Amino acid sequence: MARRYFISGGAGFIGSNYVYRLIRRGENVTVYDNLSRAGAPRNIAWLEETFGKGAFKLIAGDVRNADLLRESAQYADVIVHLAGQVAVTTSVTNPREDFEANALGTFNALEAARLSDKNPIFIYSSTNKVYGSMDDVEIIEEATRWCYKDLIKGCPETPINMCAIMHAFMGCVLLSSVRVVSMALDNLASKTKAGWHG
Ligand SMILES: NC(=O)c1ccc[n+]([C@@H]2O[C@H](COP(=O)([O-])OP(=O)(O)OC[C@H]3O[C@@H](n4cnc5c(N)ncnc54)[C@H](O)[C@@H]3O)[C@@H](O)[C@H]2O)c1
C-alpha cells in the first residue's frame, strides 16, 4: 500500500530527485517548499511534465511557518526534511535568515513529527562533515554511484566514530520521541539524465 510522504524542500536538488523516485514507486507524495531556490520552479515543472500535474501535491510553504508546516504534514507516514538555506555566502551575509530557515525550520519539522498522531518516520539530510575528513577511506566509482570500497554497508556508527557522537547528541537533545533517520551526504553529483536544477 502506498505510504504518505511529506517532503520539505521537495523542489530542490535532492528533494526533486527523491520525489521522482517515490512517485515512480507509487507512493503518495506531498512537496512542501517555498520555491526560494532559483531552480526550484523548474524542478517542479520537470516533475509535472514527467508524471502529470496531479501526480503529487505541492504546497508553497515555508518551514519557518510552524502552523502551516504542522497542518500540512499531519497525515504523513514519513516526513523527509530537505528544505534549507544551503548557501554559505548567505549564512555570512544574512545569518538570521540562515538560522531561522535551518535551525528553526528543522525544529518546526521535528515538532510537526512529534505532534502528529501518525507517529511518522522522520528522515533528514545531515552532512558528511560529521564523519570528519575520512582521508583514509577509499572511494570508488561504479556505474551509477560512488561507493566506499571497503565499507559496503556505509560508515559504522561505533562509539569512537564522530558520526555516532553526533547522532547520540542529536538523539538526546532533539529526538527523544521521534523515529529518526539521518542521511549524511557528501556533495552529490547525479549521474542520471534528470533535468534537475540546483
Ligand atoms: N547537495 C548535496 O550535496 C548535499 C550534501 C550534504 C547535505 N545536503 C543537505 O541536503 C539538503 C538539501 O540540499 P539540496 O542540495 O537539495 O539543496 P537545494 O537548495 O537544491 O534544495 C533546498 C530546497 O529547500 C527550499 N527552501 C529553502 N528555504 C526554505 C524555507 N525556509 N522553507 C521551505 N523551503 C525552503 C528551496 O526552495 C529548495 O527547493 C540541505 O539541507 C543540504 O544542506 C546536501
| pLDDT tens-digit series, residues 106-151 | 999 999 999 999 999 999 987 767 777 778 888 899 999 888 898 8
User: Residue 120 carries which side chain, given as an amino acid letter?
Assistant: P
Q: Look up the pTM and report it.
A: 0.82
Ligand 1 atom having least distance to the Cα of 10:
39
Percent of the chain at pLDDT above 90? 64
Give, rounded to a whole angstrom, the gap between the first and last alpha carbons of the chain.
Answer: 32
Cα–Cα dist 117/165, whole Å: 30
Residue 198 lies in a domain: no
On average, the pLDDT of the chain sits at 84
Please give the residue that has the higher pLDDT: either 197 or 65: 65
- The number of domains in the chain is 1
Please give the residue that has the higher pLDDT: either 160 or 13: 13
Residue 103 lies in a domain: yes
Residue 53 lies in a domain: yes
Average pLDDT over residues 151-178: 56
Residue 108 lies in a domain: yes
Q: What is the pLDDT of residues 181-197, one digit of tens each?
A: 666 665 554 433 333 44
Beta-bridge mates of residue 45? none
How would residue 34 be classed by pLDDT, with cut points 50, 70 and 90? very high
Residue 169, pLDDT score: 47
Number of residues written out for the chain: 198
In the reported structure, the alpha carbon of residue 8 is separated from the centroid of ligand 1 by a whole-number distance in angstroms of: 9
Residue 48 lies in a domain: yes
Element (H, E) at 30: strand 28-32
Please give the residue that has the higher pLDDT: either 170 or 112: 112
For residue 173, pLDDT beyond 60: no
In the reported structure, the alpha carbon of residue 179 is separated from the centroid of ligand 1 by a whole-number distance in angstroms of: 21
Q: Residue 144 is part of a domain; what is its CATH number?
A: 3.40.50.720
Place of cell 549521474: 191
Contacts of 72 by beta carbon, 8 Å cutoff, 6+ apart: 6, 30, 32, 59, 61
Residue 194 lies in a domain: no
Residue 80 lies in a domain: yes
Cα–Cα dist 28/72, whole Å: 14
In the reported structure, the alpha carbon of residue 111 is separated from the centroid of ligand 1 by a whole-number distance in angstroms of: 19
Residue 132, pLDDT score: 73
Pocket test for ligand 1, best of 8, 62, 69, 82 (most atoms within 8 A of CB): 82
Pocket of ligand 1 (CB under 6 A): 9, 11-15, 33-37, 40, 62-64, 82-86, 101, 105, 125, 127, 185, 187-188, 198
Beta-bridge mates of residue 57? 30
Residue 166, pLDDT score: 53
Residue 122 lies in a domain: yes
For ligand 1, atom 32, the nearest C-alpha belongs to: 62
| Domain extent for 23 | 4-185
